[in-house]
Amino acid sequence: MRLALLPASILLAGVAHADAVQDADRLMQAYQGDVPGAALLVLEDGKPLLRKGYGLADLEQHTRVTPQTDFRLASVSKQFTAAAILLLAQDHKLSLDDSIRHWLPSLPATADRVTLRQLLSHTGGLVDYEDLIPPGRTTQLDDQDVLRMLSATPRSYFPPGSAYRYSNTGYVLLGLVVEQASGQSLQDFLARRIFQPLHMEHTLLYVHDDPTPTESKVPNRAYGYSWSKGRWLRTDQSLTSATRGDGGIYSNIDDLAKWDAALYDDRLLSDASRKAAFSPHAKVTGEPYEASYGYGWRITGETLWHSGESIGFRNVIVRWPKQHLTVILLSNRNDPEPYRTVLKIAEPFLRPASGH
């Protein structure tokens, strides 16, 4: 086969990976056509082997997904909130062993022994804010609503540090701590300390009550969809889509490539901070996979990864640091869940590095 006849996506990867790219296209079949789509990136040594959009970002406008399409990251945002806390620790503005009540004194006395370190690793035991939403509420919750509900809830699931339970509550509160410790809004801190230094020019923390319309703030925005009663319905926002530290960032695969690159050196986080983020602090329980949890990252074997799930969005980033391979899949639909798909996509790209 002559090189000139290969599709553009295969040219990007080179002939050596042509079969792997074709395999990836086959695995991405559900996202192709006039349906809610996905953006896929395979990085090796910082270079894109595969960088491609599938399907539609906006069904109503028939806008196609491209590598520049911005998706709501959902819980993939947690690694950025964790990085913000680690940056403030590097700045000596806070300590990971601070009590959450030191920064948010309205919380009940039962939160006294809950530390920032425990919130980072989901071992704080604080009640899920989703379970505290009053029946019949129709307006979106913001971070202050979460703080008020937690402040009025003296119970917890377990003594801090004694168990693991995934907690959106913890990461909303960590976002508020970033504001208290830095004197800046969370969106400004993330922009000034992470997104701008890394030239992630199309990445932002969405703030639902900002006077600027969201559409003009999120560039090349993908809207979320859910399959219901035989058709795709736009389900872009829910009651819990306006909280920030647990899932409010929009980004695209090109910007996330820059984030991935920064995780290999100390241009942003120190060696000690990255080691802390990527070390197992708790065993993940209650999930259909084996993992430990670092700070904003799950750890399984030689992978660092995190998924993100919000109404109408399913995302995952999986990194194999020893092989310098990363696969990112962002999608604007409620199904399928992309983690297993990404592991299958990565398999042939890993073979040369692992000697298979």
In the predicted structure, residue 8 carries a pLDDT above the cut 50: no
pLDDT digits (tens, 9 = 90+) for 59-76: 999 999 999 999 999 999
Least confident of 113-122, 132-141, 308-317: 132-141
- Whether 177 is covered by a domain: the verdict is yes
User: What are the residues facing 52 on neighbouring strands?
Assistant: 40
- Whether 272 is covered by a domain: the verdict is yes
Mark whether 279 is an active-site residue. Answer: no
The residue ranking higher by pLDDT, 13 or 259, is 259
- Quick one: pLDDT at residue 321? 98
Confidence of residue 240 (pLDDT cuts 50, 70, 90): confident
DSSP 8-state secondary structure symbol assigned to residue 183: S
| Beta strands 38-44 and 313-320, pairing class | unpaired
- Quick one: pLDDT at residue 132? 93
Confidence of residue 156 (pLDDT cuts 50, 70, 90): very high
- Quick one: pLDDT at residue 12? 54
How many CB atoms sit inside 10 A of residue 108's CB?
A: 15
Confidence of residue 158 (pLDDT cuts 50, 70, 90): very high
Asked whether 14 and 49 are in contact (CB, 8 A), the reply is yes
Residue of 226, 99, 220 lying closest to 160 (CA atoms): 99
**Mean predicted confidence (pLDDT) in 110-133:** 96
Which listed residue (75, 121, 307, 331) is catalytic? Answer: 75
- Whether 135 is covered by a domain: the verdict is yes
In the predicted structure, residue 57 carries a pLDDT above the cut 80: yes
How many Å apart are CA 104 and CA 172, to the nearest integer?
A: 12
pLDDT digits (tens, 9 = 90+) for 322-351: 999 999 999 999 999 999 999 999 999 997
Give the CATH number, domain containing residue 104.
3.40.710.10
pLDDT digits (tens, 9 = 90+) for 272-310: 999 999 999 999 999 999 999 999 999 999 999 999 999
pLDDT digits (tens, 9 = 90+) for 184-221: 999 999 999 999 999 999 999 988 766 555 444 899 99
- Quick one: pLDDT at residue 11? 44
Q: Kindly report whether the peptide bond that precedes residue 336 is cis, defined as omega within 30 degrees of 0.
A: yes
Beta strands in the chain (DSSP E): 38-44, 47-54, 56-58, 63-64, 71-72, 204-205, 225-228, 231-234, 249-251, 282-283, 292-293, 298-300, 303-310, 313-320, 325-331
In the predicted structure, residue 15 carries a pLDDT above the cut 70: no
- Whether 36 is covered by a domain: the verdict is no
How many CB atoms sit inside 10 A of residue 49's CB?
A: 22
- Whether 115 is covered by a domain: the verdict is yes
How many Å apart are CA 32 and CA 46, to the nearest integer?
A: 26
Confidence of residue 4 (pLDDT cuts 50, 70, 90): very low
CA 121 to each of CA 62, 124, 165, 276, 297: distance values in angstroms, whole numbers, following the listed order:
40, 8, 9, 11, 9
Task: Look at the chain and report how many structural domains it folds into.
Answer: 1
- Whether 323 is covered by a domain: the verdict is no
CA dihedral 84, 178, 330, 256 (to 10 degrees): -30
In the predicted structure, residue 353 carries a pLDDT above the cut 70: no
- Whether 232 is covered by a domain: the verdict is yes
pTM of the complete model beyond 0.75: yes
The residue ranking higher by pLDDT, 44 or 356, is 44
Percent of the chain topping pLDDT 90: 83
User: What are the residues facing 316 on neighbouring strands?
Assistant: 307, 329
- Quick one: pLDDT at residue 256? 98
Domain encompassing residue 146: 68-278
The residue ranking higher by pLDDT, 268 or 229, is 268
Copy the structure tokens of residue 125: 């035991």
How many Å apart are CA 330 and CA 53, to the nearest integer?
A: 10
- Whether 34 is covered by a domain: the verdict is no
